[in-house]
Amino acid sequence: MQIYGADYYPEHWDESFWNRHIEIMKEYGIDWVRIGEFAWAVFELKEGEFHFELFDKIIKLLKDNGINIILGTPTATPPAWLIRKFPEILPKDYNGKVREFGSRRHYSTNSKVYREYSARIVEEYAKRYGSIVDAWQIDNEFGCHGTTYSFTEDDRKMFIEWLKEKYGTLDNLNKAWGTVFWSQTYSDWNEIGFPINTPTFENPHQMLDIYRFMSDSSIDYMNMQIEIIRRYSDKPITHNFMVDFMDIDYRKMAKYLDFVSWDNYIATKEYDPLRQSANHVLMRSLKKSPFLVIEQQPGRVNWRDVNENYPGEYLNMWTKQGYINGALGVMPFRFDQIRFAAEQYHGGLLDYAGRPTKRLEMYSKVKSETPNVVESKKEVAIYFDYENEWIHRINHVNRKFRYWDNIIEIFKAVRKLGYNVDFVFADDDLSEYHTLIVPYAFKIGNEFVEKIKLFKGNVYMTCMSGLKDENNWIVERAPHMLIDEFGVEVMDFGAIDKSKANILNADFEVDYWMDELRVYDGKILGTFDNGMPLFVKKSNRYYLASVLNEAGWLNILSRTLEPKFIGSDVEYSEAKDGIYILNLKNERNNIFIGSQIIELNAFELKVIK
């Protein structure tokens, strides 16, 4: 990897601590830090009175010691004076309740006045440090804590502007939203608002536009900052994305960034390595290029119900997992552990007394093991669309179904067979992949329909695909424009609970959904327990009329994807320069490749060139 470092908060310490911190960094090979992203009040404690002394000093000290700097803009934390002066900056949640000052992210991206104050502080940062620092981070974790969504009067006004831009006329909007239903037809733009605490279900077309608008609002707010920085700095700009996060269309947001960064925290009760890996791969897939883990969970965090500790070996392994999935760097959050404030229980690379920990030691060992940036071979493509995630949230046939979770089931199956995955978006080039999976893809635009038709290899498509259009209307006949391609038509459908089914006469578990298929010219390979067609093949096109779990997918995919290795609890990746195998267990393990045994120590990364 190219970036070894940690997130650092010099403002949390008396400056007498700084030299000791930097000494430890140098001793342990840390030569990148990210700083400054929550420090607005350090610079501007009172309106318009700017103080640069602290950061001037620490930035010089870091650079003098050969440490590279990523500087974060501090807009995730508007200071108290600003909120007291303009309380309308505060966001309102979906219950219409104001989210008050006292933690972070207490602003609406659409607040006019907040945009002005944000622009000013960002310009101050950019002017002063634009030529000194090595990279930029915009704000911090857009959308964290549900803050993508805000429903203030400023938000409403901007939503109306966004709608005018999109639809041109009210008549277009009324048609697209089907407002004739329940007399929702608008006769004036200003009648449009947010469906807060409505007696019953919202308009699903309006909801999809709300999700789009809110995602665009974050992107637009970010771009306002990027434009300012570009005026003063030619350094690369990034933003830290989040794990399992779907509120913002990261594909769209990533287009404006020089590289993608993300914050790798364990999102499940137990550490689930292939789920974290799916997130790494999604991040790599956004720009189809290397990404930075700009925050890496070091051990214990503070925001779970039960915050367990992890021995230092885990940080070592997590870092190697980022590496084999294409990371250009991994930076533990955070270098210094603080004794105060909302994150006082969050672990760091130092301990509360400022002493280096086992975690720091184990992290520093990674450097020699991860020399380059790994470039995976292209093998299996899984179609993904943030907007489809939003459609899945809105009115529903089965409220229990989760889009991303069920895509991860497929991802895991493919990875356990030893194949690399890329998530592909509608405008991606598919020519290098040999297999394409199109799961639960409610809306498939014409562009991607054509790519499916032209795809040379095997294509697997599932239920809930090609069932909706751009406006979240149901299509007349499904799968839309792909009936001939797959040889089936979805005549009707309904939700199901877990039930038995058979594929090639073996038992499978299906869940969530049942298509009622009319099969035109496919071969039926499996049935539901009521005898209706479940799995249909037409040449190298496969249609699955329900939802399978990982085991089910592993079973059906293994008929066209020969397993590359036999074994478990490893992550296996064929890259352009060799095979990378990471033991995910904290004990000895082995796998077989053909008749060859590969033995691995606890958490060992082995590279076969």
Residues annotated as part of the active site = 141, 295
CB nearer to a copy of itself: pick between 181 and 592: 181
Q: Is residue 465 within 8 Å of residue 442, measured between CB atoms?
A: yes
Residue 203 Cβ, how far from a copy of itself at the closest point, in Å? 6
Q: Which of positions 541-560 make contact with a copy of itself (CB under 8 A)? A: none
Angle between helices 273-287 and 312-324 (to 10 degrees): 40
Q: Which of positions 261-280 make contact with a copy of itself (CB under 8 A)? A: none
Tokens (6 digits) for 596: 């060859």
Nearest to 107 by CA among 13, 227, 22, 217: 217
Whether residue 140 is annotated as binding a ligand: the answer is yes
Q: Binding of a copy of itself at residue 184 (CB under 8 A)?
A: yes
Q: Which of positions 35-64 make contact with a copy of itself (CB under 8 A)? A: 38-42, 45-46
Burial of 362 by CB count in 10 Å (0-12 exposed, 13-18 middle, 19+ buried)?
buried
Q: Is residue 532 within 8 Å of residue 447, measured between CB atoms?
A: no
Q: Which of positions 98-117 make contact with a copy of itself (CB under 8 A)? A: 98-106
Q: Binding of a copy of itself at residue 164 (CB under 8 A)?
A: no
Q: Which long-range contacts (CB under 8 A, 24 or more apart) does 251-255 make?
A: 251/286, 251/386, 251/425, 252/215, 252/216, 252/219, 252/386, 253/142, 253/215, 253/218, 253/219, 253/222, 254/286, 254/287, 255/287
Nearest to 572 by CA among 591, 555, 588: 591
Dihedral angle over CA of 184, 190, 192, 194, nearest 10? -140
Q: Which of positions 458-477 make contact with a copy of itself (CB under 8 A)? A: 471, 473-477
Nearest to 428 by CA among 406, 452, 412, 404: 452
Beta-carbon contacts of 531 under 8 Å, excluding residues fewer than 6 positions away, are none
Say how far apart CA 235 and CA 64 lie, in whole Å: 19
Say how far apart CA 70 and CA 305 lie, in whole Å: 31
Q: Binding of a copy of itself at residue 493 (CB under 8 A)?
A: yes
Q: Beta strand pairing status for 240-241 and 237-238?
A: unpaired
Out of 192, 243, 414, 426, which residue is the one contacting a copy of itself (CB under 8 A)? 192
CB nearer to a copy of itself: pick between 130 and 204: 204
Residue 282 Cβ, how far from a copy of itself at the closest point, in Å? 24
Segment interacting with a copy of itself, rule: CB under 8 A, options 222-230, 231-239, 307-315, 451-459: 307-315
Segment interacting with a copy of itself, rule: CB under 8 A, options 71-79, 112-120, 256-264, 566-574: 71-79
Out of 60, 145, 453, 559, which residue is the one contacting a copy of itself (CB under 8 A)? 145
Out of 119, 495, 524, 607, which residue is the one contacting a copy of itself (CB under 8 A)? 495
CB nearer to a copy of itself: pick between 121 and 219: 121
On the question of a cis peptide bond just before residue 479, with omega within 30 degrees of 0, the verdict is yes
Q: What are phi and psi of 238, to 5 degrees?
A: -135, 180
Q: Is the Cα torsion angle 110, 342, 353, 240 positive or negative in sign? A: negative
Segment interacting with a copy of itself, rule: CB under 8 A, options 318-326, 340-348, 547-555, 598-606: 340-348
Residue 93 Cβ, how far from a copy of itself at the closest point, in Å? 7
CB nearer to a copy of itself: pick between 98 and 524: 98
Segment interacting with a copy of itself, rule: CB under 8 A, options 18-26, 306-314, 402-410, 418-426: 306-314
Binding mask 412-451 for a copy of itself (x = CB under 8 A): ----------------------------------------
Q: What angle do CA 570, 571, 576 make, to 5 degrees?
A: 135
Residue 343 Cβ, how far from a copy of itself at the closest point, in Å? 7
Out of 23, 153, 308, 427, which residue is the one contacting a copy of itself (CB under 8 A)? 308
Q: Binding of a copy of itself at residue 494 (CB under 8 A)?
A: yes
Q: Binding of a copy of itself at residue 119 (CB under 8 A)?
A: no
CB nearer to a copy of itself: pick between 267 and 397: 397
Q: Is the Cα torsion angle 370, 375, 378, 384 positive or negative in sign? A: positive
Residue 299 Cβ, how far from a copy of itself at the closest point, in Å? 8
Out of 81, 500, 520, 558, which residue is the one contacting a copy of itself (CB under 8 A)? 81
Segment interacting with a copy of itself, rule: CB under 8 A, options 88-96, 158-166, 211-219, 321-329: 88-96
Q: Which of positions 356-395 make contact with a copy of itself (CB under 8 A)? A: 357, 395
Say how far apart CA 302 and CA 347 lie, in whole Å: 8
Whether residue 458 is annotated as binding a ligand: the answer is no
Q: Which of positions 195-224 make contact with a copy of itself (CB under 8 A)? A: 195-206
CB nearer to a copy of itself: pick between 517 and 561: 517
Tokens (6 digits) for 494: 């309904």
Q: Binding of a copy of itself at residue 578 (CB under 8 A)?
A: no
Cα 371 versus chain centre, distance: 26
CB nearer to a copy of itself: pick between 102 and 594: 102
Q: Which of positions 497-516 make contact with a copy of itself (CB under 8 A)? A: 497, 514, 516
Segment interacting with a copy of itself, rule: CB under 8 A, options 18-26, 224-232, 341-349, 576-584: 341-349
Which position has the token pair 């995955």? 421
Which SS3 state, helix, strand or coil, does residue 160 take? Answer: helix
Q: Binding of a copy of itself at residue 343 (CB under 8 A)?
A: yes
Say how far apart CA 209 and CA 211 lie, in whole Å: 5
Residue 311 Cβ, how far from a copy of itself at the closest point, in Å? 9
Residue 547 Cβ, how far from a copy of itself at the closest point, in Å? 13
Nearest to 32 by CA among 327, 339, 352, 374: 327
Residue 126 Cβ, how far from a copy of itself at the closest point, in Å? 18
Say how far apart CA 405 and CA 416 lie, in whole Å: 17
Out of 119, 397, 481, 584, which residue is the one contacting a copy of itself (CB under 8 A)? 397
Tokens (6 digits) for 133: 């620092």
Segment interacting with a copy of itself, rule: CB under 8 A, options 159-167, 257-265, 396-404, 564-572: 396-404
Q: Binding of a copy of itself at residue 585 (CB under 8 A)?
A: no
Whether residue 303 is annotated as binding a ligand: the answer is yes
Q: Beta strand pairing status for 578-583 and 570-575?
A: antiparallel
Q: Binding of a copy of itself at residue 178 (CB under 8 A)?
A: yes
Taking the CA of residue 531 as centre, how many other CA atoms within 13 Å lie in the half-sphere pointing to its CB? 0
Q: Which residue ranges are tagged as binding site?
A: 104, 140, 303
Q: Which residue ranges are tagged as binding site for substrate?
A: 104, 140, 303
